[in-house]
Amino acid sequence: MTKPQSWEARADEYSLYGFTDLPSVASRGAVVLTHGEGPYVVDVNGRRYLDANSGLWNMVAGFDHKGLAEAAKAQYDRFPGYHAFFGRLSDQTVMLSEKLVEVSPFERGKVFYTNSGSEANDTMVKMLWFLHASEGNPQRRKILTRWNAYHGVTVVSASMTGKPYNEVFGLPLPGFIHLTCPHFWRYGEAGETEEQFTARLVRELEDTIRREGPDTIAGFFAEPVQGAGGVIPPSKGYFQAVLPILRKYGIPMIADEVITGFGRTGNTWGCQTYGFMPDAIISSKNLTAGLFPMGAVILGGDLADRVQAAVEKIEEFPHGFTASGHPVGCAIALKAIDVVMNEGLADNVKRLAPRLEEGLRAIMERSEHIGELRGVGFMWALEAVRDKATRTPFDGSLSVSERIANACTDLGLICRPLGQSIVLCPPFVLTEAQMDEIFDKLERALRKVFAEVA
């Protein structure tokens, strides 16, 4: 058998693609990349693309940040790998935990490391199950999340995820309960105000807790802004209303800040942007500015004390990954936090977020087929609709958002189709000129596709 020759054919031959629309790849070919320059990535044919998705929300410092690469190289030279079992761990791991608690909204806390956001959510669920059992409540195992949530792909985090595609795996597992997604524009009922919508969702939460039995619920997980659900900020007052209900029934609230953490929403944490205090935070992605696979569970003081007491009872927390707290990952994360918070990246998001919103709003207003613009900071979505007045979506078979994303790619712009939305979450290093390039290419792509399908 002769081996395939082109990069695209070799990619097809040997890859089992994940989260990839096969007909699109079959007709267009995979995009095989060699390197990056700031917010741009470059393919094997020398084509440059402005990656308005920061890779997968994570490459916030762009694709060629020298300081981050140097921090990685220095740590590889100094101490290239270790674990965090048996009370042995690297100095970088200790320093990062200290730093994460310092930059967290918690006054005190403890940190546990994983290799990904999915594993961090799994770890948090195991911690809750372990904690409740240790405190004499082994029946507290049910997990509350919301439809459209994305918490990952492992068996537990996929069960937490509120997406129909997990049915092909026979998921969710029993005991994972999904509540209404707080997207007022889409799920608000005729005549309902946004405040009434929020109140309805909070009633649903309390009814669900009562129906299931408050002492059967282990925890409630929520992204401050649903990311892979299509950038859905909470409806007005949502978290302020949800928190007291959870407190009333002693249910820990976990903020999944895998996307929203470290500046994406304009503040260090999404929970700060939306004014609520969770019991723990799940972090990943931006934590290492995408340069190392790493996730972290950051427990706030009270939960940390309770988990610590449970661990002390049996003298060991029987959980951990070989690469938990990897010294190179921790050195990169320390540098990434410094770069984002002290070298102007977070400030750039704050400064340019209103300009990004304004430009996208102008595009929406000029388009007959963009029904909603939603987002915050440097995470936005434009929702395509056939009819703006009635908010009627395009026929799914038209794959409108995929067509828009493909038209953008043809123009040298990467953005992501999610449902009928187009998502933009650019790297924090974006300049005004690069933002204008996004506006220009996106609008040209929208015009082309809407002329074809409308």
CA end-to-end distance (rounded Å), the chain: 46
Least spacing, CB of residue 121 vs ligand PLP, in Å: 6
Exposure class string for 102-121: b at 16+ Cβ within 10 A, else e: ebbbbeebbbbbbbbbbbbb
Nearer to ligand PLP, 293 or 393 (CB): 293
Output the CA torsion sign for 320, 122, 108, 285: positive
Q: Are 242 and 278 in contact (CB under 8 A)?
A: no
> What minimum distance in Å lies between the beta carbon of 150 and ligand PLP?
5
217, 176 Cβ separation under 8 angstroms: no
| Minimum gap (Å) between residue 149 Cβ and ligand PLP | 8
| Helix (H), strand (E) counts: the chain | 16, 15
With respect to ligand PLP, which residue has the nearer C-beta, 271 or 385?
271
CA–CA dist 168, 341 (Å, integer): 41
By beta-carbon proximity to ligand PLP, the closer residue of 370 and 414 is 414
Quick one: tokens of 122? Answer: 């799994």
Q: Are 287 and 104 a contacting pair, CB within 8 Å?
A: no
- 425's tokens: 């979450």
CB of 159 to ligand PLP, least distance (A): 13
Q: Least distance (Å) from ligand PLP to the CB of residue 102?
A: 23
287 or 430: whose CB is closer to ligand PLP? 287
User: Could you tell me the smallest distance in angstroms from the CB atom of residue 152 to ligand PLP?
Assistant: 4
Closer to ligand PLP at the Cβ: 68 or 282?
282
CB of 56 to ligand PLP, least distance (A): 6
Least distance in angstroms from the C-beta of 418 to ligand PLP: 11
Q: Angle of helix 327-342 relative to helix 345-366, nearest 10 degrees?
A: 70
Cβ–Cβ under 8 Å, residues 50 and 412: yes
Task: Find the DSSP H helices in 250-289.
Answer: 270-273
Half-sphere exposure of 163 (CA within 13 A, CB side): 20
> Residue 215 CB, nearest distance to ligand PLP (Å)?
27
Paired with 110 in beta bridges are 299
Assigned token pair, 110: 């403890």
DSSP at 387? B
Q: Which is nearer to ligand PLP, 319 or 361 (CB)?
A: 319
Min separation Cβ 176 and ligand PLP, Å: 15
41-45-48 Cα angle (round to 5): 30
Nearer to ligand PLP, 340 or 407 (CB): 340
Nearer to ligand PLP, 151 or 374 (CB): 151
Query: Which residue of the chain is nearest ligand PLP when measured via CB?
Result: 117
* Residue with smaller CB distance to ligand PLP, 115 or 359: 115
Calculate the dihedral angle through the C-alpha atoms of 196, 160, 148, 435, rounding to the nearest 10 degrees.
110
Please, what is the minimum distance in Å from the beta carbon of residue 18 to ligand PLP?
10
Distances from the Cα of 399 to the Cα of 91, 148, 393, 450, angstroms: 50, 19, 11, 12
Q: Please say which residue, 92 or 121, places its beta carbon nearer to ligand PLP.
A: 121
Minimal distance in Å, beta carbon 201 to ligand PLP? 19
Contact between residue 332 and residue 289 where contact means Cβ atoms under 8 Å apart? yes
The H or E element containing residue 114 is strand 109-114
Of residues 259 and 385, the one with the C-beta less far from ligand PLP: 259
Sign of CA dihedral 81, 87, 91, 94: positive
CA 399, CA 409: separation in Å to the nearest integer? 15
* Alpha-carbon dihedral sign for residues 454, 369, 391, 145: positive
Closest CB to ligand PLP among residues 90, 148: 148
Residues binding ligand PLP (CB under 6 A): 116-118, 121, 150-152, 223, 227-228, 256, 258-259, 284
